[in-house]
């Protein structure tokens, strides 16, 4: 089956000069993929021509007259720019002309517009942002939430565990991914009140054989690869992610400070590449009625291509179907899934941000 | 004035084989310092002899018959091991025979025993753990709390800001250190409820010219050096600190994986050294009626010596006096400082951990 991905080509710090080359490069590697390039048509066609790709039958251009700026408030993206490349790309998922969407646009706007256009999946209270990090075992560690929800109740963290497990399972082909609850220690009694109560829920799931809950994990377990999926609230996840990015950037700067260090970095290139956060670009916005992937705003073409690849993998491996099925199976009696129709028609326009702040 | 530091020589993963060489090396560099080495006397004397330092007049051995193990529960350290090297070292601060104490023992135990023996400083609700990180500007960034308090109210975060500011000011000689509130974005409206309310308190301080509050900062600002002091709750701080340590360790391992990378690491040694977390060993337990510094449990002699140096600097620069004065000045009308005698005689034996969990 051909997988179609819609791309918000105007988003991010660099826009088409990054998104178009990434799209062209991705198609060369993925024969069963088609891309819908969304943005200001003239600009996109000019960029395509520059790369001799204006006649590629697997690339379609879809015009959108507006652009969500990186510093646009959520309200502007949501109410005033109804023909933005971001929104049109998400609408392509909604109307079935794409299986997934990728944008490097501002995260707050992307989450809000996605929630508004696609709505939240039945049984899910709050969508979450799930990204991956490299680990010492050579595999990726999935982490969520990375900034969509800064005040989380145990029920929310519980749902994040289910969503992260499904995404990891579908993309990595791991039947029952191990789940760790991010905490200040491994003992059950550790943690703040929300995390301790979440531990109780996850242990109950594990006892019934429903989720593969490993137990509490600590910050260093992310890079050790102790578990496949790490669950935390969006405040902790966001602050930690940015601290990690900050440390990576600091190290790069330090390497550039002396000729000897630069030489060192050259020799160590392979090692540094393994740690390269660009390879791990592409966070999933999970829990929506449609797949949306977020690229880092400052991504280069190499990194943006990875985000497209992640969206492709998720669509190709039917993440949405698996997620719906597993949410229904794992949370059948949850109060939040009970009024299914209410959840389906939940008002997402005005109170998109109720109890939720976008952060990345 | 001679500065006396008591050292729990038995603490940490390595005990005297690390703490004794570190102590000897420190004394060589610091002419006005004296050290009280606390631990099992025979073991300490044998180690001193090994390093030809058994006759150093600036080294005193103080016997303690017990050792708090790294995995001892807090209760064991507090109630059953009353003659532990950790406790005897802290008691040296209490009885005035030392100006500060250093231990690489388990953090939970160290905080609990310190609170029990020294009591909390008047005006301080909860002691906090303050460590430093290197930043791109070449200076250190002070961060607290790193794990003593996992559920924090705005009042607690407010006090952490004051304590961090005082420690940074005294040690770094910065008259009014800039303070950042760790958050998911820089705008005032960002953050979870506790952090937003803390922002209100800190902005009020800044408006009255009392604290140099910069505003919200993000995870990457720690390494950018945007502010001198970063304030967060102990859950966030602990998880982030361990994630950073985990990433550092991952990078070291990756470097060792190939000969070329090892060569790279060799050339880049100077750059890597700058980032070396060992240089930043030594976290302050602030808000107690006495100075206690915590070394990383796995510290080598080089790192442990840095922890001794930090304790020396804090004592030499009268951190306790500055802290008492500034707490009194900055929080004169705070309800927690009002019943000063009540705070001074607050029961710390049984409820040491009430609303507080040690984490590091």
Q: Are A45 and A67 members of one domain?
A: yes
Tell me the chain A residues in contact with residue B271 when contact means C-beta distances shorter than 8 Å.
251, 254-255, 257-258, 261, 264-265
| Chain-chain contact of A240 with B239 (C-beta, under 8 angstroms) | yes
Mean pLDDT across chain B: 87
Residue among A224, A248, A264 minimizing CB distance to B246: A224
Q: Are A63 and A110 members of one domain?
A: yes
More confident site: B229 or B329: B229
Test mutation, A250, A266, A275, chain B, max B CBs within 10 A: A250
Question: In chain A, whose CA is at the least distance from the CA of B184?
Answer: A359
Nearest C-alpha of chain A: how many angstroms from B49? 38
Give residue for tokens 């969407």.
Answer: A101
Please tell me the least confidently modeled range out of A330-339, B150-159, B346-355. B346-355
Question: In chain A, whose CA is at the least distance from the CA of B274?
Answer: A254
Q: Residue B261 above 70 pLDDT?
A: no
Q: Which two tokens stand for residue A45?
A: 């066609």
Nearest C-alpha of chain B: how many angstroms from A275? 7
Phi, psi of A184 (to 5 degrees): -90, 5
∠ Cα A110 A113 A115 (to 5°) = 105
Nearest C-alpha of chain B: how many angstroms from A20? 29
In a domain, A270, yes or no: yes
Alpha carbon distances (Å) from B260 to A135, A145, A229, B188, B253: 21, 37, 32, 47, 13
| Chain-chain contact of B191 with A150 (C-beta, under 8 angstroms) | yes
In a domain, B177, yes or no: yes
The torsion defined by the Cα of B48, B49, B52 and B53, in degrees rounded to 10, comes to 40
Cα separation, A148 vs B184, in Å, equals 10
End-to-end CA distance of chain B: 33
Question: Residue B253: which domain range?
Answer: 130-278
Q: Are A194 and A65 members of one domain?
A: no
CATH number at residue A201: 3.40.718.10
Q: Residue B147 above 80 pLDDT?
A: yes
Tell me the chain B residues in contact with residue A241 when contact means C-beta distances shorter than 8 Å.
219
Q: Residue B258 above 90 pLDDT?
A: no
Tell me the chain B residues in contact with residue A190 when contact means C-beta distances shorter than 8 Å.
150, 357, 359
Q: Are A81 and A164 members of one domain?
A: no
Q: Which two tokens stand for residue B195?
A: 């952090």
pLDDT number for residue A303: 95
pLDDT number for residue B348: 30
Question: In chain A, whose CA is at the least distance from the CA of B262?
Answer: A268
pLDDT number for residue B354: 30
Tell me the chain A residues in contact with residue B265 when contact means C-beta distances shorter than 8 Å.
264, 268, 271
Q: Are B79 and B157 members of one domain?
A: no
Q: Residue B341 above 60 pLDDT?
A: no
Cα separation, A56 vs A58, in Å, equals 5
Q: Which residues does residue B216 pair with via DSSP β-bridges, in sequence order?
A: B181
- Taking the CA atoms of B147, B152, B156 and B158 in sequence, report the sign of the dihedral they define: positive
Say how many CB pairs under 8 Å bridge A and B.
199
Report CA Rg, chain A.
20
Q: Which two tokens stand for residue B95?
A: 């009885």
Total number of domains in chain A: 2
Cα separation, B292 vs B93, in Å, equals 8
Cα separation, B262 vs A342, in Å, equals 59
Q: Are A86 and A193 members of one domain?
A: no
Cα separation, B265 vs B282, in Å, equals 26
Q: Are B139 and B263 members of one domain?
A: yes
Q: Are A111 and A157 members of one domain?
A: no
Q: Residue B324 above 70 pLDDT?
A: yes
Predicted model pTM? 0.84
Cα separation, A274 vs A278, in Å, equals 10
Cα separation, A155 vs A160, in Å, equals 9
pLDDT number for residue B265: 58
Average pLDDT over residues B39-49: 97
Q: Which of B278, B298, B316 is the last residue of a domain?
A: B278
Test mutation, A222, A268, A275, A359, chain B, max B CBs within 10 A: A268
Cα separation, A164 vs A198, in Å, equals 15
Q: Are B20 and B53 members of one domain?
A: yes
In a domain, A349, yes or no: no
In a domain, B341, yes or no: no
In a domain, A188, yes or no: yes
Total residues found in chain A within this entry:
360
Nearest C-alpha of chain A: how many angstroms from B272? 8
Q: Are A151 and A75 members of one domain?
A: no
pLDDT, tens digit, for every residue of B59-96? 999 999 999 998 898 999 999 999 999 999 999 999 99
pLDDT, tens digit, for every residue of B172-199? 889 999 999 999 988 888 899 999 999 9
| Chain-chain contact of B223 with A235 (C-beta, under 8 angstroms) | no
Q: Which of B257, B278, B299 is the last residue of a domain?
A: B278
**Cβ atoms < 10 Å from Cβ of A273:** 11
Cα separation, A165 vs B248, in Å, equals 27
Nearest C-alpha of chain B: how many angstroms from A121? 24
Q: Residue B356 above 60 pLDDT?
A: no
In a domain, B345, yes or no: no
Cα separation, A359 vs B183, in Å, equals 9
pLDDT number for residue B275: 60
Nearest C-alpha of chain A: how many angstroms from B98? 32
In a domain, A7, yes or no: yes
Average pLDDT over residues B317-330: 89
| Chain-chain contact of A244 with B247 (C-beta, under 8 angstroms) | yes
| pLDDT average per 10 residues of sequence, chain A (360 residues) | 96 96 98 98 97 95 96 92 97 98 94 97 94 90 93 94 94 93 91 94 92 96 97 96 88 64 57 67 95 94 96 95 87 47 32 33
Q: Are B13 and B82 members of one domain?
A: yes
More confident site: B201 or A329: B201
Nearest C-alpha of chain B: how many angstroms from A65? 29
Residue among A135, A184, A271 minimizing CB distance to B239: A184
Q: Are A53 and A88 members of one domain?
A: yes
Q: Which two tokens stand for residue B293?
A: 């510094």
pLDDT number for residue A328: 86
In a domain, A360, yes or no: no
Cα separation, A314 vs A284, in Å, equals 9
Question: In chain A, whose CA is at the least distance from the CA of B263?
Answer: A267
């Amino acid at each position: 089956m051909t997988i179609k991905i819609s791309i918000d080509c105007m988003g991010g710090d660099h826009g088409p000069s990054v998104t178009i080359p990434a799209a062209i490069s991705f198609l060369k590697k993925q024969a069963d993929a088609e891309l819908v390039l969304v943005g200001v048509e003239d600009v996109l066609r000019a960029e395509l021509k520059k790369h001799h790709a204006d006649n590629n039958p697997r690339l379609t251009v879809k015009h959108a007259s507006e652009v969500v700026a990186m510093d646009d408030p959520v309200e502007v993206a949501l109410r005033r720019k109804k023909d933005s490349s971001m929104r049109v790309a998400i609408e392509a998922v909604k109307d079935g002309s794409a299986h997934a969407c990728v944008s490097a646009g501002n995260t707050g706007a992307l989450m809000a517009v996605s929630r508004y256009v696609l709505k939240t999946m039945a049984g899910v209270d709050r969508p979450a942002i799930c990204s991956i990090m490299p680990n010492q075992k050579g595999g990726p560690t999935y982490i969520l939430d990375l900034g969509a929800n800064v005040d989380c109740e145990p029920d929310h963290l519980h749902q994040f565990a289910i969503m992260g497990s499904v995404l990891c399972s579908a993309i990595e082909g791991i039947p029952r991914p191990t789940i760790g609850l991010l905490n200040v220690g491994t003992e059950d009694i550790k943690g703040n009140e929300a995390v301790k109560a979440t531990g109780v829920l996850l242990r109950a799931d594990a006892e019934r054989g429903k989720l593969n809950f490993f137990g509490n994990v600590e910050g260093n377990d992310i890079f050790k690869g102790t578990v496949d999926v790490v669950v935390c609230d969006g405040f902790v996840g966001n602050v930690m992610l940015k601290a990690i990015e900050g440390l990576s950037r600091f190290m790069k700067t330090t390497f550039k400070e002396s000729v000897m260090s630069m030489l060192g970095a050259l020799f160590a290139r392979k090692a540094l590449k393994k740690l390269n956060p660009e390879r791990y670009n592409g966070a999933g916005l999970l829990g929506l009625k449609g797949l949306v992937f977020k690229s880092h705003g400052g991504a280069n073409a190499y990194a943006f291509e990875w985000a497209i690849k992640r969206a492709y993998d998720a669509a190709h491996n039917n993440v949405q179907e698996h997620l719906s099925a597993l949410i229904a199976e794992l949370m059948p009696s949850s109060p939040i899934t009970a009024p299914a129709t209410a959840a389906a028609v939940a008002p997402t326009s005005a109170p998109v941000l109720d109890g939720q702040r976008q952060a990345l």
